[in-house]
Structure 1
Amino acid sequence: MKDKTEAETNNETKSEKSATKETKETKETKEDDQAVGFAMQDGKVEAAKNVPVEEEKALLQAFDEYIAALNAEDLERYSKTLSKNPRGFDLEEDVEYQKLNFENFDLKHTAKDIHVVQYDENEAQLLSQVTVEVELENGEPFKQAARTNTVFVKEDGKWLVTSVAAIGEKME
């Protein structure tokens, strides 16, 4: 007996397709879950030990440019810091979101405690403390800090942002 939704030219049944899809999705999810993270020892971030000096320099420059482009509110410059095929966001949506931010707010991003926490020749993760400051409509300043994991991929010899994960911290 065959499922009527099965294509006549394909011998794989609908349930086999579902099982294959589930296995693929589970594998991708497991790979993604393992892809982002960092280690701490005695409350301190452990930097990756396998990063070549020149690559670390290039990664830090790419991260600095990413932050500088945000602070300059330069949409074209910001777009050039992003992967053409990001994994953590939709490229067009992100650019549109930043355009609205640039038009409506004067945000200042400050990064400190920047460490390369995972590295291979095609992907790296930078953990940092990023503080965003803005003046609210009532004139009051607002400041929010977050522990940020910025994932870079190498495309055409350049390190570009492919995803960003952040955990906000309580401000005093």
Structure 2
Amino acid sequence: MKTKSGLFIPVLLAALFLGACGGKTDENQNMAEDGTAPSGENSAVGHGVEDGADQEADDPEVGFGMTDGTIEEAENVPEEEKAAILDTFAQYMETFNNQDPDGYTSLLVEGKDGFDIDEEKKAMQELFAAYDVERSAENETIVSYKDGEAQLFSNLTTTMTSKASKEARSEKGRQVTVFKKAGDAWKVKEIYYIGDSA
């Protein structure tokens, strides 16, 4: 599942959380089951299901290889660039966990090939008004690096606690974060996420 929104994981988890609590949500309930969700350029939660035939011509091939259960790291990543990409990813996680919309969105590619920054900020504010959210990452591995773009694989754990009920839920999943070099900085261009089956 591809999303233009850096907030996709928490928003999806919010829908699952509300559904489990018997509440109603305006989120499309098909999101978790079949990859269909509201889309649109100005939507805070854009998506696409990639199967090759539907993939846009300018989209990178996104994925990762495994050998004996281990994620294969790209061999051609200069150490300086690797450090910069990992640092940007760490900031991406930290600014989200610190509920810092300005810091978070400063790390995103803006515009047609990236994110709607105003929508991202609005989605963050709405999310954090209702939930305390904590994301953590493990196994951060650069799996592709070429032409000013890099793909970083990680295992994510997202924990949401309702501010109203204090009930907490967690979800684990895998994410490939696509980075684009903008000047001297690496920024988050796209996010591909799949939740682990229960």
TM-score range, shorter chain: 0.7 to 0.9
Unaligned 5+ segments in structure 2 are 1-52
Per-residue Cα deviation, 1:71-108 (whole angstroms, up to 9, x for no partner):
00011111111112363643332232122112221100
Identity in percent: 32
Q: Which one has a larger percent helix, Structure 1 or Structure 2?
A: 1
Q: Does 1:67 align with 2:109?
A: no
Runs (4+) of structure 1 moved beyond 4 Å? none
**TM-score, length-normalised on structure 2?**
0.67
Which residue of structure 2 aligns with residue 56 of structure 1? 82
- Aligned with 2:123: secondary structure? helix
Q: When the two structures are aligned, how many residues end up with a matched partner? A: 145
Is the contact between residue 88 and residue 164 of structure 1 (CA under 8 Å) also seen in structure 2? no
Which residue of structure 2 aligns with residue 91 of structure 1? 117
Amino acid at match of 2:166: G
| CA–CA separation in structure 2 for the residues paired with 1:45 and 1:166 | 16
| CA–CA separation in structure 1 for the residues paired with 2:115 and 2:82 | 24
CA 1:109–1:28 in structure 2 vs 1: closer, same or farther (change >3 Å)?
A: closer
Unaligned 5+ segments in structure 1 are 1-25
Say what the alpha-carbon RMSD is for the aligned residues. Answer: 2.1
Which residue of structure 1 aligns with residue 197 of structure 2? 170
Which residue of structure 2 aligns with residue 149 of structure 1? 176
- Aligned with 2:87: secondary structure? helix
**TM-score, length-normalised on structure 1?**
0.76
| CA–CA separation in structure 1 for the residues paired with 2:194 and 2:55 | 23
- Aligned with 2:56: secondary structure? helix
| CA–CA separation in structure 1 for the residues paired with 2:98 and 2:190 | 21
- Decide which structure has the larger Cα Rg and report it: 1
| CA–CA separation in structure 2 for the residues paired with 1:68 and 1:144 | 18
